[in-house]
Amino acid sequence: MTPAITEYATREALMQATAERITRALGGAIAQRGAACAALSGGATPVPAYRLHAGAKLDWPKVTFALVDERFVPPDDAASNEGLVRRELKPAFDGGARFIPMYAPHTLGEAGDAANALYAPLTFDIVLMGMGVDGHTASWFPGAAKLGEALDMDNPRSVLSLTAPQAEGSPERLTLTRAALTRASRLILLIAGEEKRARLEAALAGDWAPAAALFAPALPEPEILWAP
């Protein structure tokens, strides 16, 4: 059965709904277990949702933000996802939220190993995935040499370093593995625009793209949120 797509009439409504889901998931986790963790994607699409979420009243010292993937650039580089998250969620960090980086100033491979160690103990109350028009999600790029490793459900790693020549911002990437997403309670796939929707629908109908790999029995079923 093709997964349902929850549609919003406007991007504003889509962002509001996304922010509410993040806030609710983290608030629920704090109420239940006294701590909460969200893994967030970079890229342009989710930025307004992050701004809205940062205005929420949460017990921020109990919240940890992690990344879905990272471009292998320092946090002060315009392409950095860490930089983006720290900037757009500044009120949350000012309020005491923690951040778990993927980037480290080592070689790409060493940074991948360091991030893997940091991410191994994490469980995610919510993971916000994005998608590119080529059907990539996280840094699972079509044609990347390590794509198989990234998607391998038996991969013991949580974070992998890889190179994808077509990747925006930096071809060198750090990414959660699909196996790490088995530790997520909830997955959101946030997409906007007709082109991405058409690519996702084609991927789910059999014209495979990495985003289709999110729809696997071992993972929570992604909730697809979309606006034109």
Residues that bind ligand 6PG (CB under 6 A): 41-45, 68-69, 71, 81, 130-132, 136-138, 168
The Cα 178–Cα 136 span in angstroms is: 13
In angstroms, give the least distance from the CB of 193 to ligand 6PG.
8
In angstroms, give the least distance from the CB of 66 to ligand 6PG.
12
Encode burial over 40-57: b for 16+ CB neighbours within 10 A, e otherwise.
bbbbebbebbbbbbbebe
Q: Where would I find the H helices in 10-119?
A: 11-33, 47-54, 81-88, 90-94, 108-119
User: 60 and 97 in contact (C-beta within 8 Å)?
Assistant: yes
In angstroms, give the least distance from the CB of 140 to ligand 6PG.
8
Query: Judged by CB, which is closer to ligand 6PG: 27, or 158?
Result: 158
Query: Judged by CB, which is closer to ligand 6PG: 27, or 83?
Result: 83
Query: Judged by CB, which is closer to ligand 6PG: 62, or 139?
Result: 139
In angstroms, give the least distance from the CB of 30 to ligand 6PG.
25
Query: Judged by CB, which is closer to ligand 6PG: 23, or 41?
Result: 41
In angstroms, give the least distance from the CB of 2 to ligand 6PG.
22
Comparing C-alpha atoms, which of 94, 88, 52, 96 is closest to residue 67? 88
Classify strands 159-163 and 172-176 as parallel, antiparallel or unpaired.
antiparallel
H-run or E-run covering 199: helix 194-204
Query: Judged by CB, which is closer to ligand 6PG: 27, or 222?
Result: 222
User: 75 and 103 in contact (C-beta within 8 Å)?
Assistant: yes
